[in-house]
Structure 1
């Protein structure tokens, strides 16, 4: 019933919004610009003038949302399909696939920001693991010229089954062994423009440092300058010459890359991701956007091109401190004393469950007592080939899979997690039942038509503000990552991570309009498809809505707010609280966790509330 209501609501909005573009005999062009990891409240005329101009002169979506878990590939799947993660199966950047992926290094928990890994997963799941049509695939099917340029992984996802045959794909891997091949047309055009056929490396921007050595102090300028040149000097002129409408996705690795690897704040949370390196990353992305807009002007394409800007998620500074974790009390060669090591969740669970821990990124070698898994991931059980528990490490939240769907084991895992001070909220697969202190995954649209294995438990980590005028600009979080305290991460359910940046400008958008309604990355995908006149054939019903209120003559639907709380508290009194907003049947997830342990949830939030779907 809910799916039918969702589809009907989306259809009603789409019909009303269609008037904006139906008057055009020829569809508009579209550029989707994604500044990876850009915080919703960080954009000003000083920090990012090009983005601020689009926000202020076009539409400012001031109530914007990333999907949780707030990771890149998860939100790329939403932007590219308009669906929530329960349908796309892209639950995080590292997922359990249920089989061993050779391109990922012979592991069952591949990191999927990799073109070869995506192809492998597609092959395993009947040629299309997303199980939903993507924006660029639909567009090229209707005669649009299409291109995706930028960060490896999310860029390809917009037309991952085509693999460069029709859609132009240029990312970090272009020209390398795992890259998507360039067409002869593109090779000739790049050569004529004086641009290399292989993407330059990130250089010093890729240096993450270690516990004693600071990370990078430079933005990803050279690599992104190449990609911006490819877009403005090759692709856009090519598209203009074809005299057909086009769709261009430009996924800027900055500020994400510079914030992750920042060397401004080694082992301290200040300035964290507000140091000069992170700010340079924001400006770098902004410069790329300005270059794209200038090219549109020079080519005479501005009047017929809509530009949508949406970051995939917000960002936070990493903390590695815990008073309860057994792993923080162990000495590691590469980890400062009393700090959480990489893979702390897998280590702590193995101890609590009294199960052997094996490393799926090291040929399932057993993890020694004074060591941690190489990539943080872990398989627990007597036989690593048939694990009882799989931990997929991601950052501000981790995924736990129980391949045998053992409800008694799930209860033991949940009770162990509830004892840790770094945990703030647990979401459990509905099929396992209800557990005190938790909420079901269906509340988050994590249960749908996905073909990849569904996580059994999603673990959200603690977050807070380090203290600044806009708390979401200085959020801090516990993160399960190789990166260090003081560097940057995302993935949590804090408002610092769910509050992304979204704005739009162009002939099919209102001018100078501030949109108070909640919107999400799934809405961006649905709205882009609507503007292009594309019909989306949905396998699943977990879809975003067309942002009709931002379009001329579009309807302005009403919104409401709500809170869900665990039906029963845990033995130590903890309840998972989820605060959300709703437009018609579409939910927008603001923040979740244990009150007082998640940025945006006060100690009093969730009291005298009851759980429900």
Structure 2
């Protein structure tokens, strides 16, 4: 039998409730032909670089160490956060951490160790592209970015692509032209030239268009249709007679979105109310790394100052869930907070306090539910992600090919962290003990020896009796893998 190949197609930011025959006919065709994972989950924070790291490591953010889209490391960047959206920053951070920016083995590393090749092609940020195979410069493989030769590796292959196809089109909203461009590059050059065992082909839309113009806007619907069209081309190619018995197509999104309805500059109100705080750098003893999910770093982890700030956060009308270092498996060290481990985000790089701007079910002008406070440069009416609302946590996944069942709806929850161990299982390679995800046995074509599994729901609460603040998290466990369903507060 021919060796199986796996092509992972990233539909960045696609919400599960925006899949329809009108917007995503090709995704639905893939799901109908193969397996539809209709209870698919992001990991927390629901951010692209976090979930790409989880995709290639099979691990939660607190295991692989990419604790948010940006990390706080003054030794690398003393004046602001470390922006992992830039390939050169990813390379510099990996050098600083002595090759351990990802603290667990990644798919590219494992494949290289078995003599296989991995390829990452992207129209998204150069940092996300590099995180897909962050050892590409030392272990080999292909990393091609639509942002140009400098962000791609190896250089001579990128130069060949530019000579053959021309430079990538400028980014648009929708980003349709670049989606078509990287699909052309994959179908007509990079795959036939290199035949990698695993390819990640990542579209920047609908995420980019959502951010700027909002979920449900006419442009965002066009963006979904455009990337779905390219998925259709890839699906058609995979079913050509010389490909059909060896190509598996996996299409997924990394997170959903919610609409920005109000803005708060957290470092400013924190400075006014409690203690001086810098935006991305220490002012006196406190630094805020802002976003929908933000982090507060306290110099020397001063427990009294951590408690003061956390208690203040829980009193703010714009603040949602709050997490601190755990005093046990559920409760944080500050009363009313959850332990960061409850949401898989407990790592030495995590903030002393991890907080989420408040979200709700309010509908935007296009009728789509889910809105939030935000602390970024995004416009009101645009959309964002990173938190724990179901609109961010519930994303999409379908897979078809010789290694997957046909015409099957998966009955169990699944998540970003399950893709890597499932692929390793299918390739017959050992799964590292660092993996938090599970093999999706129930979705595979060879299921004779598949262990039975059940979904076990759970709900956790934490409260501060002095302020009346209460927060909750709902999860589902399958075997040892935990999927977060939602979190909310009552105050």
- Report which of the two has the higher share of strand: 2
8 A contact 2:250–2:400 mirrored in 1: yes
Mapped pair 1:294 → 2:249: no
Mapped pair 1:123 → 2:95: yes
Whole-angstrom distance in 2 between the partners of 1:570 and 1:98: 36
8 A contact 2:88–2:127 mirrored in 1: no
Partner of 1:225: 180
Q: Residues 67-78 of structure 1: matches in 2 within 5 Å?
A: 67-78=43-54
Partner of 2:19: 43
Larger radius of gyration: 1
Q: 1:314 to 1:534 in 2, by over 3 A?
A: same
Deviation at 1:425, TM superposition (A): 1.1
Partner of 2:410: 515
8 A contact 1:39–1:314 mirrored in 2: yes
Partner of 1:195: 165
Q: 2:431 aligns with which of 519, 530, 536?
A: 536
Deviation at 1:187, TM superposition (A): 3.4
Q: 2:270 aligns with which of 333, 338, 349?
A: 349
Q: 1:282 aligns with which of 199, 218, 224?
A: 224
8 A contact 1:74–1:93 mirrored in 2: yes
Q: Residues 126-145 of structure 1: matches in 2 within 5 Å?
A: 126-145=98-117
Partner of 2:377: 482
Q: Which runs of 5+ in 1 are unaligned?
A: 1-23, 206-217, 263-271, 321-339, 360-376, 382-387, 597-613
Q: Deviations over 1:147-198 (max 9, x none)?
A: 100122222212212238621111143224xx1343435534653xx312x4
Whole-angstrom distance in 2 between the partners of 1:53 and 1:305: 16
Q: Residues 292-331 of structure 1: matches in 2 within 5 Å?
A: 292-298=234-240, 300-320=242-262
Q: Deviations over 1:514-569 (max 9, x none)?
A: 1121111001222122222232334x4x6111111111313341111001111x42
Deviation at 1:467, TM superposition (A): 4.2
Alignment coverage as a number of residue pairs: 482
8 A contact 1:65–1:519 mirrored in 2: yes
8 A contact 1:100–1:108 mirrored in 2: no
Partner of 2:325: 429
8 A contact 2:453–2:479 mirrored in 1: yes
Partner of 1:87: 63
Whole-angstrom distance in 2 between the partners of 1:155 and 1:175: 13
Partner of 1:404: 300
8 A contact 2:118–2:133 mirrored in 1: no
Q: 1:422 to 1:189 in 2, by over 3 A?
A: closer
Q: Which runs of 5+ in 2 are unaligned?
A: none
Q: 1:235 to 1:299 in 2, by over 3 A?
A: farther
Q: 1:69 to 1:389 in 2, by over 3 A?
A: same
Q: 1:309 to 1:556 in 2, by over 3 A?
A: farther
Deviation at 1:259, TM superposition (A): 0.5
Whole-angstrom distance in 2 between the partners of 1:594 and 1:275: 29
Mapped pair 1:157 → 2:131: yes
CA RMSD of aligned residues (A): 2.3
Partner of 2:5: 29
Q: Deviations over 1:246-284 (max 9, x none)?
A: 21101110000010111xxxxxxxxx4111111111112
Q: Which moved more, 1:409-418 or 1:134-143?
A: 134-143
Tell me the TM-score normalized by structure 2: 0.92
Partner of 1:551: 444
Q: 1:116 to 1:512 in 2, by over 3 A?
A: same
Whole-angstrom distance in 2 between the partners of 1:89 and 1:477: 26
Q: 1:222 to 1:507 in 2, by over 3 A?
A: same
Deviation at 1:438, TM superposition (A): 1.1
Deviation at 1:132, TM superposition (A): 1.6
Whole-angstrom distance in 2 between the partners of 1:515 and 1:293: 20
Deviation at 1:418, TM superposition (A): 1.3
8 A contact 1:122–1:161 mirrored in 2: no
8 A contact 1:128–1:161 mirrored in 2: no
